[in-house]
Amino acid sequence: MSRIVIVSNRTPGREPAAGGLAVALRKVLDEREGFWFGWSGKLSEDPAREARFENIDGLDIAQIDLTRDDYHAYYSGFSNSILWPSFHLRLDLANIESHWYEGYRRVNQQFAKALMAVLRPDDVVWVHDYHLIPLATELRNLGARNRIGFYLHIPFPTTDALYAIPHHGELMHDLSRYDLIGMQAQRDVAAFTEFAEHQAPSTFGAHTQPVDFSRTEIEVFPIGSEPDAFARMSTSPAATKMVKRMERVLGNQRLVLGVDRLDYSKGLPQRVEAYEKLLANNARLRRGVHFLQVAPPSRDTIKQYQETSDALDAMCGRVMGRFAEPDWQPLTYVKRAYGQPSLAGLYRLSRAALVTPLRDGMNLVAHEFVGAQNPDDPGVLVLSRFAGAAEIFPDALLVNPFDTDETAEALRMALDMPLNERRQRWTALMEAARHHNVNDWALRFLDRLAPGATATSSSRDI
Ligand code: ADQ
């Protein structure tokens, strides 16, 4: 059996993996020979160009260091200030400094060189996410003929948003050098197909030939979590400890929960505004409900992230000022990360979760929340239509997160929902979460990428 090489921007660290993704890919590498390749997290003025191999808790990892300048242009610059906002249709927040592209390309070349030196001809390479779109091209330029797959964790943009990205023609050429591209949702494959069919024939980039996806297979592979692991974790000692802490504060109040990285794509200020409207429109609910938003800072060297954080501070302050009383607080806002068991406890304790991103590849919090519910008394999922998860969870209360009146009303429905309906909805959600679990996701992608795999009727050759 061929080895599996997983490539991502960052290699997993020593600390326990935060998300299901790292855990699932670890499992793959427990069962198959192979290793995980990526950036070490270290910056150095004169980094070695060869990959360093290390075994961390049973996982074989190969990593390289980067220079501070390259890292800045590649990661904070092109990846997170141009690609991330554009792919999430936030051109107003993009910072189009086209020179960052050179650093982005250079880092992808460094990745390719270091990886090529340790790659065997029959290794299967699985590349993750928007930081590494050019990697297949760079590997192929060095002679790699391996099967190479790419998984996009974030949404694929509309053609207009794509055109706002410097060097988008090159990037589309780069995508066409993969054998298989996986995306989160039908919506993404539709946007991609629109480009591939109508724009690619007239897109050249720096090439004499137009972009041609005829040798690339594209398919939807919705990622998921490990819902049964979350179910177990939700009654673990660490979860119970967190639940007890919260219960002391809550008394008879019902908990409404939000859990997100602090990112403008997650719709946090809009969510707080919706909660404000809930309290304004339903005086009877005041003192009987408490909103807890957990949002650890991320990418906080980027100005747009600091501004989102400030906007959220202001919104929370406004709601406190408007509704708090000496003996009642309408909300708590916590800017830090918690371990998965503590989160699982919070998910289980809450009567409703607000998962309302303005746009999201999938959104794993939705999956984790479903997994952690008590089947006898489950909470309600209020979910954005613009998360990939909306395709998986039609039984959630789906909302337009830009419409804060609608979100407020959905939250009211969630809080008033009779037990019977909550159970019915949750049963359907749990079935979907199990069906789309992260372990099957990884195996399905690797099956399709395996040498000699043939297209299924659900896949789309373009
Ligand atoms: P993210 O944008 O990071 O991921 P998401 O899918 O919600 O978004 O995953 C976040 C993960 O971080 C979850 O596992 C969650 O438990 C964890 N997390 C969030 N807040 C936390 C906190 N306060 N403490 C501890 N853990 C916390 C990108 C895409 C998504 C896509 C995933 C996976 O943007 O759309 O679903 O990749 O493909």
pLDDT, tens digit (0-9, with 9 covering 90-100), for 321-347: 999 999 999 999 999 999 999 999 999
Q: Are residues 162 and 259 in the same domain?
A: no
What one-character-per-residue DSSP string does 87-133 give?
HTT-GGG----TTHHHHHHHHHHHHHHHHHTT--TT-EEEEESGGGT
Region of 437 on the Ramachandran plot (φ > 0 left; ψ -120 to 50 alpha; else beta):
beta
pTM of the full predicted structure? Answer: 0.96
Helix, strand, coil % (nearest 5) of the chain?
45, 20, 35
Question: Do both 285 and 300 map to the same domain?
Answer: yes
| Element spanning 240, H or E | helix 237-250
Q: For the segment 34-76, what is each residue's pLDDT rounded down to a tens digit?
A: 999 999 999 999 999 999 999 988 899 999 999 999 999 999 9
Residues 199, 247 share a domain: no
- Radius of gyration for the chain, computed over Cα atoms and rounded to the nearest angstrom: 23
Q: What is the mean pLDDT of the chain?
A: 94
Question: Structurally, how many domains does the chain consist of?
Answer: 2
Contact 50, 75 (CB under 8 A): no
Structure confidence at residue 428 (pLDDT): 98
**What is the dihedral angle through the alpha carbons of 318, 321, 325, 329, rounded to the nearest 10 degrees?**
30
Check if 360 is active-site.
yes
**Which residue owns the Cα nearest ligand 1 atom 11?**
19
Q: What is the pLDDT of residue 457?
A: 44
Neighbours of 43 (CB within 10 A): 15
Q: Which helix (H) or strand (E) covers residue 382, if one does?
A: strand 380-384
Q: Which amino acid is at 137?
A: T
Domain end among 220, 236, 254 = 220
Q: Write out pLDDT tens, residues 206-261.
A: 899 999 999 999 999 999 999 999 999 999 999 999 999 999 999 999 999 999 99
Residue 305, domain member (yes or no): yes
| Same domain, yes or no: 216 and 233 | no
Contacts of 314 by beta carbon, 8 Å cutoff, 6+ apart: none
Whether residues 216 and 251 fall in one domain: no
Å from CA of 82 to ligand 1 middle: 20
Q: Give residue 20's pLDDT.
A: 62
Is there a single domain that holds both residue 165 and residue 233?
Answer: no
DSSP strand E in 260-301: where?
A: 289-294
Domain presence at residue 461: no
Please report whether residue 446 resides in a domain.
Answer: no
Q: pLDDT class for 264, splitting at 50, 70, 90?
A: very high
CA 415 to chain centre: 28
Q: Which residues span the domain enclosing 32?
A: 4-220
| Percent share of the chain, pLDDT over 70 | 97
Write down the pLDDT at residue 30.
87
Tens-digit pLDDT profile for residues 331-390: 999 999 999 999 999 999 999 999 999 999 999 999 999 999 999 999 999 999 999 999
Q: What is the pLDDT of residue 444?
A: 96
Q: Catalytic: 376?
A: no
Residue 434 CB partners (closer than 8 Å, separation 6+): 227, 228
Tell me the CATH number at 420. Answer: 3.40.50.2000
Pocket of ligand 1 (CB under 6 A): 18-19, 21, 153-154, 223, 259-261, 294, 296, 337-338, 343, 360-365, 368
276 and 212 co-located in one domain: no
Q: Do 124 and 214 share a domain, yes or no?
A: yes
ipTM > 0.95, yes or no: yes
Catalytic residue among 131, 153, 167, 168: 153
Instruction: Check: CB of residue 126 under 8 Å from CB of residue 449.
Output: yes
Confidence band for 456, pLDDT divided at 50, 70 and 90: low
Q: Which of 188, 220, 252 is the last residue of a domain?
A: 220
Count the neighbouring beta carbons within 10 Å of the beta carbon of residue 459. Answer: 15
280 belongs to a structural domain: yes
Do 390 and 310 fall within a single domain?
A: yes
| The pLDDT value given to residue 26 | 87
* pLDDT above 90 as % of the chain: 89
